[in-house]
Structure 1
Amino acid sequence: MSNTNHIGLNEVSASELAQKLNELLANYQVFYMNVRGYHWNIKGRQFFQLHEKFEEFYTDLLAKVDEVAERILTLGHYPIHAYSNYIDVAKIQEDKDVQDGEACVRGILQGYQALIELQREILSLASNAGDEGTAAQVGDYIREQEKTVWMLTSYLD
């Protein structure tokens, strides 16, 4: 009996990666809803600029939610899909009733920082497991999001 999954990865490693990817999925889902809320509820002089930018962010986050879930399935495991599970698992907390532009931007900055930290853990696990698919996926996310963090930080300075 083989100890590898259908894509040739060690099953124990694939299971560990799927668990971490489910944690990532939970964080993406909570963060996505936070950014949706910022988009809906932003007020003030920067409304037009931030409203449009927040839509750009949440659209990208939603695409990544689907990609992460599909990677979990590719590893031979199942993505969690209940918001109650997301709240229990996610490091990113719900951010409710935020309307101030600067507070919204700070919330987005903190969300991306949390995602990058978790994705670096996953990148290390994937590299050690020889999982190029997961490593490439989260590596791309990290690269994109580091640039976003730089831009958000510059905006707040």
Structure 2
Amino acid sequence: MSHKINIGIDEKSREEIGEGLSRLLADTYTLYLQTHNFHWNVTGPFFQQLHVLFEEHYTELAVAVDDIAERIRALGILAPGTYKELAELTSIEEVEGNISAEEMIGRLVDSHETVVRTARKVLQTAQEAEDESSASLVGDRLVVHEKTAWMLRSHLQN
């Protein structure tokens, strides 16, 4: 037996928000993988500092991925969960090969800013539908990604 969802958000809006959150999930998961990759492969004079920093970041992202996916499900939408689905939805460019620590930081800044832009789009959709739960989740993600981008960017300034 199935119950119709009746949370005060019409089906069309739930689908639009779910689609936006799915893109946010894909970007967040891709950033998680990128950060974990850099954690494993960073080298250079700031290895220890960056290795620990990247671990803090990917640990936070792992929790965020779960929170976003659970919100998608609460809206009655199937959350994307395969590499193929996530790869099709993400706006973050994959990094291949060995790059310097400085390049890693620059790529992470770009990726966090990509997540911010994706989040802003779904935030507007959620606000228009008066979906405070999704708007709150996305607003919290904006704070994290904007602050992280700023802090990483600070590593690149002389």
Write out aligned runs for 1:8-87 (5 A): 8-87=8-87
In structure 1, distance between residues paired with 2:119 and 2:40: 28
Return the letter of the residue paired with 1:140: D
Amino acid at match of 1:38: F
Offset of 1:6 from its aligned partner?
2.7
CA–CA distance in structure 2, aligned partners of residues 64 and 37 of structure 1: 18
Unaligned runs of 5+ in 1: none
- Take 1:90 and 1:7, find their aligned partners in 2: how far apart are those partners? 28
The aligned residue for residue 114 of structure 1 is 114
Q: State whether residues 43 and 99 of structure 1, in contact with CA within 8 Å, keep that contact through their aligned partners in structure 2.
A: no
Partner of 1:146: 146
CA apart distance, 1:144: 2.0
**C-alpha RMSD of matched pairs (Å):** 1.2
* Aligned counterparts of 1:5 and 1:15: Cα–Cα separation in 2: 12
Could you tell me which runs of 5 or more consecutive residues in structure 2 were left unpaired when the two chains were aligned.
none
The DSSP-based 3-state class of the residue aligned with 2:8 is coil
Letter in 2 for 1:31: L
Q: CA deviation at 1:104?
A: 0.9
- The answer to whether the Cα contact below 8 Å between 1:27 and 1:91 also exists between their aligned partners in 2 is yes
Instruction: Provide the rounded CA distance (Å) in 2 between the counterparts of 1:98 and 1:86.
Output: 23
Q: Which amino acid aligns with 1:22?
A: S
In 2, are the aligned partners of 1:98 and 1:104 still within 8 Å (CA)? no
The alignment partner of 1:43 has SS state of coil
In structure 1, the residue matched to 2:103 is 103
TM-score, normalised to structure 2's length? 0.93
C-alpha separation between the residues in 2 aligned to 1:104 and 1:98?
9
Asked whether the equivalents of residues 37 and 96 of structure 1 are also in contact (C-alpha less than 8 Å), the reply is no
Give the whole-Å Cα distance in 2 for the aligned partners of 1:150 and 1:54.
15
Q: How much has 1:32 moved relative to structure 2?
A: 0.9
Q: Identity rate of aligned residues, in percent?
A: 35
Residue 156 of structure 1 corresponds to 156
Counterpart-to-counterpart distance in 1, 2:139 and 2:103: 28
Length, aligned pairs only: 154
